[in-house]
Amino acid sequence: MKPTIFTNCLFALLLLCFFDCVRADVRLPRLIRDSMILQRDMPVRCWGWADPGEKIVLSLNGKRFLTRAAADSSWAVLLPAMKAGGPYTISINAHNHLVLRDVLVGDVWLCSGQSNMVHQMGIHADRYGPDIAGADNPEIRQFWIPTLTDVHGPRRDLPYGYWKSANPTDVRDFSAVAYFFARSIYAKYHVPIGLINASVGGTPIQAWISEAGLKPFPDMVGAVERNKESRGGGVRSVPGPVAVVVDKGLSASPAWYEPAFVPVHWRRINVPGYWEDQGAGGLHGTVWYRKEVDVPAAMAKGPAKLVLGRIVDADVVYINGVEVGHTTYMYPQRRYVLPAGVLKPGKNLIVVRVTNSSGKGGFVFDKPYCLVAAKDTIDLKGVWNYKVGQVAVPGRLGGGGGGGFAPAGLYNAMVAPLVPYAIKGVLWYQGEANTGNAAQYTR
């Protein structure tokens, strides 16, 4: 059958529709979204990605800004300096239509470093309970960046993240240092405060510095180059400072945290205390702790709280085979909230998997260890049973190695995507991880 003018036109129309459908939507970085806070009194960049040549029109506060996507798909609009205020709505029109709501203009602070910047309000709920309950300021907001690393180069964007305001629920995820700072300066200046938190416990400063910033340190530049050439890539979660080959507690069937598991040849150990002081000297890796406790029916009816003081370094906690909480480094207080139904009347099994990378591992002295529910408390101090899951091999942590804390690794994944965003300043709370080489840290 010969093609007709009609069929040729129909084919052309379908082809045009197909190419229009496959055009990529305009996309924004995760940081630019609803409820964000923009920096006052300076030009502010709004950026993203689209098909090369795509026309983008951004509208804000009665003004329109026009740009086109470059050959590499990137585009940017420089907004003029604005006074503190809002909320505003930003509209972006192109192949698709985007609307950003509840945008404020104020002061934005990048909050970074290690554990003292990480510590969230919720971790210290016992101490800061009244501050959490009284948090009610929608003009103080935090964008919490997930813990990520990339040793192969700077990333363009973050995988996820949201701006959240200071209320009794969301403030629990705020860095305590950053929140009290924001609350203090808000009381003084009365302008919206945005906190961008990029922090990871136990991290050395070199992990937070770009490759260009590390040029004065040849050994670290060499490590960056070697890591870029290594296999694998992409953003990945930061591993701990030790690499565990196989944990027998996890590979067993049933696993050691499951109620069906029957412990054989487990040894007795005191909690609190360090296993190095109780017959397992020089051990780094994972050690499993078990304890059965009798819970009265009254305590099992509703929610409860498991208090495990502090543990060196990391822990995962199970009750009756269900994971109820975990912490990835030594400094936070362990306060795990147990929903109703986790505890049962009678015998309950508590299992704690402890990972230690250096020094003494175990449960820190002079801290509370108990189970609390319905105004009753069960003391968890005393004799537990333990067994080694696996002896660890040293991980590559610090100046010359790879792994999660490699030079430039955290910068590439957690800071590089933020660079175009205008900020007021930086809060930096770090140093302990570099005490082994203070002279280098000074440089």
Q: What percent of the chain has pLDDT over 90?
A: 75
CATH of the domain at 345: 2.60.120.260
The reported pLDDT for the residue numbered 327 is 86
pLDDT band at 124 (very low <50, low <70, confident <90, very high): confident
Residues ≥6 apart with Cβ < 8 Å to 365: 272, 273
**Per this entry, what is the length of the chain?**
443
How many domains does the structure of the chain reveal? 2
Pairwise CA distance, residues 205 & 19, whole Å = 48
Range of the domain at 109: 23-232+396-443
Residues 6+ apart with CB under 8 A from 183: 137, 140, 166
Task: Using pLDDT thresholds of 50, 70 and 90, give the confidence band for residue 229.
Answer: confident
Q: Which residue has the tokens 């705020």?
A: 174
Between CA 241 and CA 402 the distance in angstroms is 10
For strands 137-144 and 193-199, give the pairing: parallel
Interatomic CA distance for residues 161 and 33, integer angstroms: 10
Which pLDDT belongs to residue 331? Answer: 80
- The predicted structure's pLDDT at residue 240: 41
Q: What is the pLDDT of residue 227?
A: 87
7-24 pLDDT per residue, tens: 554 555 544 444 444 457
- The single residue listed with the structure tokens 């609803």 is 34
Q: Mean pLDDT: which of 227-231, 334-338, 423-427 is highest?
A: 423-427
Domain-embedded: residue 298: yes
Identify whether 219 is part of a domain.
yes
DSSP conformation class of 398: S
Whether residues 292 and 190 fall in one domain: no
pLDDT exceeds 70 at position 264:
yes
Q: Would you say residue 135 has pLDDT above 50?
A: yes
**pLDDT for position 399:** 34
Residues 67 and 192 in one domain: yes
Together in a domain, 319 and 411: no
Encode pLDDT of 103-112 as tens digits.
999 999 999 9
10 found inside a domain: no
Hey, what are 440's tokens?
């280098």
Tens digits of residue pLDDT in 171-228: 999 999 999 999 999 999 999 999 999 998 888 999 999 999 999 999 999 999 998 8
Residue spans of beta strands (DSSP E) within 313-407? 314-319, 322-327, 335-338, 346-356, 362-363, 369-373, 376-379, 382-391, 393-394
Claim: this prediction has a pTM higher than 0.75: no
Instruction: Give the pLDDT of residue 358.
Output: 78
Residue 420 CA to its chain's centroid (Å): 21
Interval 374-395: pLDDT, tens: 889 999 999 999 999 998 754 3
Report if residue 8 sits inside a domain: no
pLDDT one-digit tens code per residue, 343-357: 999 999 999 999 988
Residue 224 lies in a domain: yes
